[in-house]
């Protein structure tokens, strides 16, 4: 079955040439987008197997934004650019592309790059599935151990770090009345060193008093999962004030959150914090 590919290119002549080359080579072109908005719509609508992506589009559009959406959908992409400067290359590298072609390029180079990109994608997908299965088995065994809960949590933290990199991990148990949350976690202080953090440790590190936290302890009942970046890390209504203070004290820039409903109707929310703003996108 022919692979489906999306072209994101704002120069009509270049886009049409790409369409002809790819169609002749056996690819099915799902669409041509000239802007970031068009690209996002076609990604959601067609779910292409791959994408060819101009790193610079007209106006305020950017191939970097589209690349993040493609990565979130696990769609491999190859960048096209008329500029091979170090700055452009650094921007491109941040999105982990499967290839980079500088215009003008030969038909042969384009097709070889796409073949290699697809091969790498398949290899990475297979490796990720094996890693996920191994991680699930490790987590299952750890959760069944008879050791103290804080020790099990530390072991889980170490097991998760290679797959979900973080500077601070927090587990928050929310009570049924939604007025309190028991937050505790581990701050990464070395390659494989972690410091236990709860309200007591946070008060010591920050120099705050008990009333500085407890006066704002009521939390919102909404439970959310997702990624938050930048200033929004201190504005989410779904987090207790303790978590917000942790964000400020440790200079955290983004977090990934996951909410789990327990059998007794309580919630546990897990936060993976990072000092880097774009690590989870």
Tell me the domain boundaries of the chain. 4-125, 146-274
* Greater model confidence, 36 or 210: 36
Share of the chain above pLDDT 70, in %: 84
Q: Answer yes or no: pTM beyond 0.85.
A: no
146-274 has the same fold as 4-125: no
pLDDT for the residue 238: 46
* Greater model confidence, 226 or 73: 73
* Greater model confidence, 230 or 53: 53
Summarised one tens digit per residue, pLDDT across range 190-209 is: 988 999 988 888 888 888 87
Q: How far apart are CA 145 and CA 163, in angstroms?
A: 22
Superfamily of domain 4-125: Response regulator (3.40.50.2300)
pLDDT for the residue 265: 76
Summarised one tens digit per residue, pLDDT across range 218-271 is: 444 445 566 676 555 555 544 446 667 878 888 888 888 888 888 887 788 888
Share of the chain above pLDDT 90, in %: 35
Contact status, residue 28 vs residue 40, Cβ threshold 8 Å: no
Q: Which of 4-13, 41-50, 81-90, 131-140 comes out lowest in average pLDDT?
A: 81-90
pLDDT for the residue 147: 87
CATH value of 146-274 in 3.30.450, 3.30.1380, 1.20.1060, 3.90.550: 3.30.450
Cβ-proximal residues to 166 (8 Å cutoff; 6+ apart), any chain = 160, 188, 256, 272, 273, 274
Per-residue pLDDT for 113 more than 50? Answer: yes
Contact status, residue 169 vs residue 271, Cβ threshold 8 Å: yes
């Amino acid at each position: 079955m022919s692979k489906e590919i999306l072209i994101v290119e704002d120069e009509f002549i270049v886009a049409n040439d790409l369409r002809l080359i790819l169609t002749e080579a056996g690819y099915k072109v799902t669409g041509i987008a000239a802007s970031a908005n068009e690209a996002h719509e076609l990604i959601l609508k067609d779910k292409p197997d791959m994408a060819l992506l101009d790193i610079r589009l007209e106006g305020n559009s950017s191939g970097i934004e589209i690349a993040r959406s493609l990565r979130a959908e696990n769609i491999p992409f190859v960048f096209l650019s008329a500029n091979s400067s170090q700055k452009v290359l650094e921007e491109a590298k941040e999105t982990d592309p499967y290839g980079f072609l500088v215009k003008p390029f030969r038909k042969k180079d384009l097709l070889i790059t796409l073949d290699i990109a697809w091969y790498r994608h398949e290899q990475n997908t297979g490796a990720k599935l094996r890693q996920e299965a191994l991680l699930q088995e490790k987590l299952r065994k750890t959760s069944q151990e008879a050791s103290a809960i804080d020790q099990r949590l530390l072991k889980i933290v170490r097991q998760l770090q290679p797959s979900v990199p973080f500077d601070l991990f927090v587990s928050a148990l929310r009570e049924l009345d939604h007025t309190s949350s028991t937050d505790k976690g581990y701050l990464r202080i070395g390659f494989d060193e972690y410091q236990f953090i709860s309200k007591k440790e946070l008060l010591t590190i920050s120099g705050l008093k008990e009333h500085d936290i407890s006066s704002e302890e009521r939390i919102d009942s909404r439970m959310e999962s997702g990624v938050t970046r930048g200033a929004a890390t201190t504005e989410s209504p779904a987090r207790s004030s303790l978590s917000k203070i942790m964000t400020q004290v440790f200079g955290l820039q983004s977090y990934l959150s996951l909410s789990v409903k327990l059998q007794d109707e309580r919630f546990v929310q897990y936060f993976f914090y990072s000092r880097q703003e774009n690590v989870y996108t």
